[in-house]
């Protein structure tokens, strides 16, 4: 049994009883990385020297009366689009392959205050654009359950590292499902918080009105602790919300009696395979047995979410990625003939195909004569999708459905078909458009591959989501099953 099979609370107890050292946890992490990383390929950069120094300092601190952080001594990984001072941050792109940030993202500062140990930076789809981790400029991360399959994306490295037992938990970012979809594919727990709950300062922007940082863990309880540590108002981020951060772990009562659950018929319809659909119906029976009630509802505008999302996110990406020009930082083409040539060649050589595809789509949607027809129309659809959710939440506590339409697909299976690849996020995208919180928890298997249950909550009501997810988790044993690498 690995130390990472224990929960944070159990490990803390062992550390405080002096039956376990922080250096033991860090040793376990790098030992496991040595055993499986050549197969999984979740990490882009390791920070071993600094991690071991931090662990030694924490071992000395345990003997003092000083107050310990919420996540004291816990080893974790950070997605490579979250900046870390002095630790390379590439966004899995050639254009940033040698970028060493001079400051920490707010979430990284908060984790330092919580006294975690950063093991390294995790692979992803380039600039968070993708659903399979096949768009990284450096390596393809593999699914620990089946090394021939994708781990999901864009936070594929973050989910795979937790599933493979390389770290206790990790941070990902979610623009259209990029935490929840890989969590579902890798059989772990992934939370996308309410937009504004967690600071985006230091997250390299893909689509600023949609991006949100969130935790990926083995259990719902650990997820609640990690979200607790990174949440809160940040003066460095104008979109961060001035909303009190509750004690999320206190919501894990296991009691869902009388809870009203909405199940959108659109989330169990065409495109969702039978195994995924059945796993949700089985999960609803479990929740019914715990005293919750559910009814079918409709989110009529969700069928337009995919089109609206790709127009809006690509438009924002085309603006955000204009800063990568070969002048200030990042890759610069050798021997340009002029300034314009420098811009063109640096971007052409530095960006991958998927990033170029989205920049071109976004630039088109924002261009004169097309703005009203595409970008503005997509914003209007976004408002209708938001209203659908608000209408349902006027009568129900949470919404439940599958996280993904299928289990993980094979590497290379959809890479030449962007539309099929985009459709993988069809069940997760509506939340980002509305800014709502949602979690994916393991709820079943299809031919040995994990499936995820998605629980969606009201604005800033992550506590209710955790309550439902934890009650379901305690009544089942899907989260206890681990891949055999």
Q: Among the residues of 252-376, which ranges form H helices?
A: 274-289, 305-320, 339-350, 353-366
Identify whether the C-beta of residue 284 lies closer than 8 Å to the C-beta of residue 294: yes
State the catalytic residue, choosing from 29, 79, 155, 192. 79
* H/E stretch holding 329: none
Q: Cα(364)–Cα(373) distance, rounded to whole angstroms?
A: 11
- What is the spatial distance between Cα 447 and Cα 485, in angstroms, rounded to a whole number? 17
Cα torsion at 50, 163, 453, 199 (round to 10°)?
Answer: 10
Separation of alpha carbons 46 and 119, rounded Å: 6
Round to whole Å and give the CA distance between 202 and 84.
8
Sort 342 into a burial class: Cβ within 10 Å, 0-12 / 13-18 / 19+: middle
Angle between the 305-320 and 377-393 helix axes, to the nearest 10 degrees?
A: 120
| Catalytic residue (one of 132, 161, 170, 178) | 178
For the question of residue 79 being annotated catalytic, the response is yes
Q: Which of 93, 136, 154, 158 is catalytic?
A: 154
DSSP 236-253: T-TTS-------GGGG--
Residue 200, φ and ψ in degrees, nearest 5: -100, 5
Residues taking part in catalysis: 79, 154, 178
């Amino acid at each position: 049994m690995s130390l990472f099979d224990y929960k944070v609370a159990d490990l803390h107890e062992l550390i405080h009883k002096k039956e376990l050292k922080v250096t033991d946890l860090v040793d376990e992490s790098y030992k496991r990385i040595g055993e499986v990383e050549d197969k999984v390929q979740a990490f882009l950069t390791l920070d071993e020297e600094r991690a071991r120094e931090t662990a030694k300092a924490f071992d000395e601190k345990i003997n003092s009366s000083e107050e310990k952080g919420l996540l004291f001594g816990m080893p974790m990984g950070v997605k490579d689009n979250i900046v870390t001072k002095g630790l390379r941050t590439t966004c899995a792109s050639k254009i940033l392959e040698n970028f060493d940030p001079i400051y920490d993202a707010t979430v990284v500062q908060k984790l330092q205050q919580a006294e975690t140990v950063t093991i390294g930076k995790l692979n992803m789809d380039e600039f968070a654009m993708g659903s399979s981790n096949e768009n990284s400029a450096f390596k393809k991360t593999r699914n620990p359950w089946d090394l021939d399959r994708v781990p999901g994306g864009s936070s594929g490295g973050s989910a795979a590292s937790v599933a493979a037992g390389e770290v206790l938990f990790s941070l990902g970012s979610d623009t259209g499902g990029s935490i929840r979809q890989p969590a579902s594919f890798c059989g772990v727990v992934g939370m996308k918080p309410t937009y504004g709950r967690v600071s985006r300062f230091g997250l390299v922007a893909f689509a600023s009105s949609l991006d949100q940082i969130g935790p990926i863990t083995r259990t719902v309880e650990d997820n609640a602790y990690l979200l607790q540590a990174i949440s809160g108002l940040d003066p460095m981020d104008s979109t961060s919300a001035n909303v009190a951060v509750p004690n999320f772990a206190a919501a894990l009562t296991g009691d869902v009696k009388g809870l009203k659950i909405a199940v959108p018929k659109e989330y169990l319809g065409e495109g969702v395979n039978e195994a995924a659909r059945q796993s949700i119906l089985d999960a609803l029976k479990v929740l019914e047995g715990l005293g919750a009630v559910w009814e079918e509802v409709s989110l009529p505008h969700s069928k337009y979410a995919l089109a609206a999302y790709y127009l809006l996110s690509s438009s924002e990406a085309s603006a955000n990625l204009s800063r990568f020009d070969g002048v200030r930082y990042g890759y610069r083409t050798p021997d340009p003939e002029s300034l314009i040539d420098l811009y063109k060649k640096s971007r052409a050589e530095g960006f991958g195909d998927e990033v170029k595809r989205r920049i071109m789509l976004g630039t088109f949607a924002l261009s004169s004569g097309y703005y009203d027809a595409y970008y503005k129309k997509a914003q209007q659809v976004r408002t209708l999708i938001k209203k659908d959710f608000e209408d349902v939440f006027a009568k129900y506590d949470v919404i439940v459905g599958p996280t993904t339409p299928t289990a993980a697909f094979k590497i290379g299976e959809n890479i030449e078909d962007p539309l099929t690849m985009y459709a993988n996020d069809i069940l997760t995208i509506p939340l980002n458009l509305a800014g709502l919180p949602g979690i994916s928890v393991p709820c079943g298997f299809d031919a040995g591959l994990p499936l995820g249950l998605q629980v969606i909550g009201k604005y800033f009501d992550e506590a209710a989501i955790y309550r439902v997810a934890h009650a379901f988790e305690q009544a089942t044993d899907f989260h206890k099953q681990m891949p055999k690498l």
